[in-house]
Structure 1
Amino acid sequence: MSFILIAVLIDMIAIGLIVPVLPYMVGQFTDGAEAQARWFAIVTFTFGAANFVAAPVLGALSDRFGRRPVLLLGFSGLALSFFVTGLATALWMLVAVRVVAGAMQANAAIANAYVADISTPEQRAARMGLVGAMFGVGFILGPALGGVLGDIDVRLPFFAAGALAVANGLYGYFVLPESLPKARRRPFTWRGAHPLAAMQTLARNPGIGWLAAAIALATLAQFTMHSSWVLYTHFRFGWGPAEVGWSLFVVGLMSALVQGVLLRHLLKRFSPRRLAAWGLAMGAVTYAAFGAITEGWMMYVVIVVGTLLGGGATASLQSIVSNAADAERQGEVMGALASVNSLMAVLAPATAGPLLVLISHRQPDDWLIGLPFFACALLQAAAAVIAIRFFTARRRAAAQPA
């Protein structure tokens, strides 16, 4: 676990570095808030579209050749994308490099498959919570550092992130061991590696199908929030890269606390199903609160309270899905989930972009300026309803005599 946690941590620091500055990088090549919001949606859309197509292929390749080589490929893709983005001189370069980065990067899915390889079914929820905690720690350090560097030069975080991705590649090559024994590998087939086949794999499994739908809606809400965060806080509170970086620092800190410390204690008292249902419901309330508040300091209150109440939902859902999959198909299943997540990353800019354009000219005290987060609340509420109905049906079926 220590090897993969270090790799995930470095990876997420690198990704977190660019979060506070990418919309401002796009703004260097556009004129006005409306054009900035539209082109930022396009840039993020291209990454999600490429990752949607490539994620199941990379997941299936990891089942055939092992997790380590696919992780190394992802680190290389990130390094390339960061350096080229830092050197970009036109919008088409930003769009093109996001396509390459999306096609080569499936590190989150492969990391979860890696954890599944080395864990018993009983360990997976807590250990995937640790992976989530590393994501949180990465977002503690990455955005805060990215905001500081972005205040100096908006391109500087991209070069720092590229250097970290190179360091992670070297760490993976020389230190990170392989987790998938050759005896558990299976042949690669293109028929099962395209994204639609990957989602059919989830739908065919009675223990996964509806949960995948709930995960999809919750992920769409999360990615819509990510796509909206920087420009929304700029429009409403006048925040710049530094303020955005510190707010994401608190998001990461709370995520690491909940998933790395509190979750394993909660799992001793509550089942993953109960934690998932409660977390999804509280997430809907949190998103609505983000859209309703009127002062910048209130964002921090909502971050802390919302993460404490609902921060364990993602790890709990992932552990339930992982336990429902065969040991030989962890890479395929996690790749399929990554493909679903990537599809949501495609849809999120298409959701957030028009909403950001609508609010770009509104006054900060207009309640409609919270539209992006109200949309997130509706999506999260739908995910909670689906998951609760699924868990209730399974419990009733288990209670009936054979």
Structure 2
Amino acid sequence: MDAPLPAVPRVRRAALVFIFVTVLVDVMAFGLIIPVLPHLLKKVTGGEIADATLWHGLFATGYMVMQFVAQPVQGALSDRFGRRPVILVSNAGLAIDFLIMAVAETLPLLFIARLLSGVTSASFSTANAYIADVTPPENRSAAFGRLGMAFGIGFTVAPVMGAWLGAVDLHLPFWVAAGLCTANFCYGFFVLPESLAPDRRAAFEWRRANPLASLKLLRAHPELFGLAGVSFLMALAHLVYPTTFVLYADYRFGWGLEMVGWTLLLVGVLTIIVQGGLVGRIARRYGDRRTVMIGATAGAIGFAMYALAPNGYWFWAAMPVAALWAVAGPAAQSLMTARVSPQEQGRLQGAIGSLNSIAGILGPTLFTQTLAFVAANEIGGPLAGASFWLASVLVGLGGLLAWRATTTRH
């Protein structure tokens, strides 16, 4: 067992509320543009769906590549200069980015703005480092769960609002998103204290801040590389939802947009309940290690139930089981933060963020091609859910990897 780390600093409750709010507002800002960005791309590319789809894929890939590069840099900068300036600069950068997208009428300008958003949104990893700074190890699962709840709220409510605003004007959601980020910056400027004391900071070195070098941190600590692999596999599996669910529901159940919308709303509500109310209770009762196992088991079973569901009713019945998977991520985060020093929390979150960005690059092709093969060959029955079977296997492998990576310490 490593030597105990120094006691975490006491921070005003308003600061912790701000971290929750900053994640919520930033997620809502991104959620607002989800339903309108494809239509805006269609408009600036000449009105052809095929061209807009191609560019939408390139935009998504470019965004993830920039996150892969930027997250380790921001993490290292936050270890050197503190979390507060990195979070505030990122909030300001996001506001500028959305303003650019609000006035952009050309494809190159939109693409540049989207790349910029990949850089500035990397502050999510710094928010995780902030939580690790100010939260005792035994309470981190619950704290990370609350951040997950912010994601759930943002991505449940914001796309609906974005669709309403986009019906008025395609650029209006970008103006609202810019306003939210600006308000977030102003709020944080006055209430957010620094969480990383000067004596806990580490020197900034470019050779340690690049994505590949940052991954070396994961191998420098026992068990950390395995736990990071768990995070990667679960991030990859999660992409089955945004990449294939709409088309899968149409292919398997004949659902239209209304049924898909209600189902995604229920997914969001269940995620909020689990991450906001159950993660902390389960982690306190069973410990972080067992909580990861519980979540991975529920996720693997839940995705398998999705694949087997012969109709929409059975799919809905599987949702509470699959929702319990959400306890695994915060618990895995808690286990990883307990294995590095305060001076390395930013680099750790940057490295995890880079791995998740790799998942974001690989996942869309992996799952969409799987579903495309099913549809092209008109496969029915349980094998029609091949994309969900794949997600089930990935989550199950994540659970096995977590068990193996943490066995020696228990």
TM (norm. structure 1) is: 0.86
Q: Which amino acid aligns with 1:312?
A: V
Counterpart mapping for 1:99-178 below 5 A: 99-150=115-166, 155-178=171-194
Pair 1:251-2:270 in alignment: no
Cα shift at 1:197: 1.0
Q: What CA distance in whole angstroms lies between the structure 2 residues aligned with 1:169 and 1:360? A: 46
After superposition, give the CA deviation of every residue in 1:20-59 in whole Å (9 maximum; x if it has no partner).
4444555554745x76655433221111111101100000
Q: Secondary structure at the match of 1:313?
A: helix
Q: Which amino acid aligns with 1:2?
A: V
CA contact (8 A) 1:113 1:330 kept: yes
After superposition, give the CA deviation of every residue in 1:45-93 in whole Å (9 maximum; x if it has no partner).
1111111011000000011111111112222333334344444545554
Counterpart mapping for 1:3-402 below 5 A: 3-26=18-41, 29=45, 31-32=48-49, 38-89=54-105, 91-150=107-166, 155-233=171-249, 237=254, 239-240=256-257, 246-293=262-309, 295=311, 300-307=316-323, 309-355=324-370, 358=373, 370-395=385-410
CA contact (8 A) 2:223 2:405 kept: no
CA contact (8 A) 1:56 1:193 kept: yes
Q: What CA distance in whole angstroms lies between the structure 2 residues aligned with 1:364 and 1:295? A: 15
Q: Secondary structure at the match of 2:208?
A: coil
CA contact (8 A) 2:138 2:284 kept: no
After superposition, give the CA deviation of every residue in 1:270-319 in whole Å (9 maximum; x if it has no partner).
11111101211221232334444455565544333321x32200000000
CA contact (8 A) 2:131 2:143 kept: yes
Q: Secondary structure at the match of 1:191?
A: helix
Q: What CA distance in whole angstroms lies between the structure 2 residues aligned with 1:97 and 1:330? A: 29
Q: What CA distance in whole angstroms lies between the structure 2 residues aligned with 1:244 and 1:290? A: 14
Cα shift at 1:231: 5.0
Structure 2: segments with no counterpart, 5+ residues: 1-15
Q: What CA distance in whole angstroms lies between the structure 1 residues aligned with 2:61 and 2:235? A: 15
CA contact (8 A) 1:38 1:357 kept: no
Structure 1: segments with no counterpart, 5+ residues: 396-402
CA contact (8 A) 2:71 2:123 kept: no
Cα shift at 1:394: 3.9
Q: What CA distance in whole angstroms lies between the structure 2 residues aligned with 1:38 and 1:288? A: 31
Residues 6 and 196 of structure 1, relative CA distance in 2, 3 Å threshold: same
CA contact (8 A) 1:38 1:354 kept: no
Q: Which amino acid aligns with 2:302?
A: T
Cα shift at 1:181: 1.6
Q: What CA distance in whole angstroms lies between the structure 2 residues aligned with 1:142 and 1:62? A: 29
Residues 152 and 375 of structure 1, relative CA distance in 2, 3 Å threshold: farther
CA contact (8 A) 1:146 1:245 kept: no
Question: Number of residues paired by the alignment?
Answer: 392
CA contact (8 A) 2:156 2:264 kept: yes
Q: What CA distance in whole angstroms lies between the structure 1 residues aligned with 2:390 and 2:52? A: 21
CA contact (8 A) 2:104 2:110 kept: yes
Residues 357 and 154 of structure 1, relative CA distance in 2, 3 Å threshold: farther
Q: What CA distance in whole angstroms lies between the structure 2 residues aligned with 1:25 and 1:228? A: 22
CA contact (8 A) 2:24 2:153 kept: yes
Q: Which amino acid aligns with 2:286?
A: F
Larger deviation, residues 267-276 vs 1-10: 1-10
Cα shift at 1:269: 1.8
Q: What CA distance in whole angstroms lies between the structure 2 residues aligned with 1:80 and 1:364? A: 47
Q: What CA distance in whole angstroms lies between the structure 2 residues aligned with 1:200 and 1:267? A: 29
Q: Which amino acid aligns with 2:146?
A: L
CA contact (8 A) 2:71 2:119 kept: yes
Match of 2:9 in 1: none
CA contact (8 A) 2:310 2:381 kept: no
Q: What CA distance in whole angstroms lies between the structure 1 residues aligned with 2:220 and 2:155? A: 35
Percent of residue pairs identical: 36
CA contact (8 A) 2:308 2:381 kept: no
Q: What CA distance in whole angstroms lies between the structure 2 residues aligned with 1:294 and 1:171? A: 49
Q: Which amino acid aligns with 2:242?
A: H
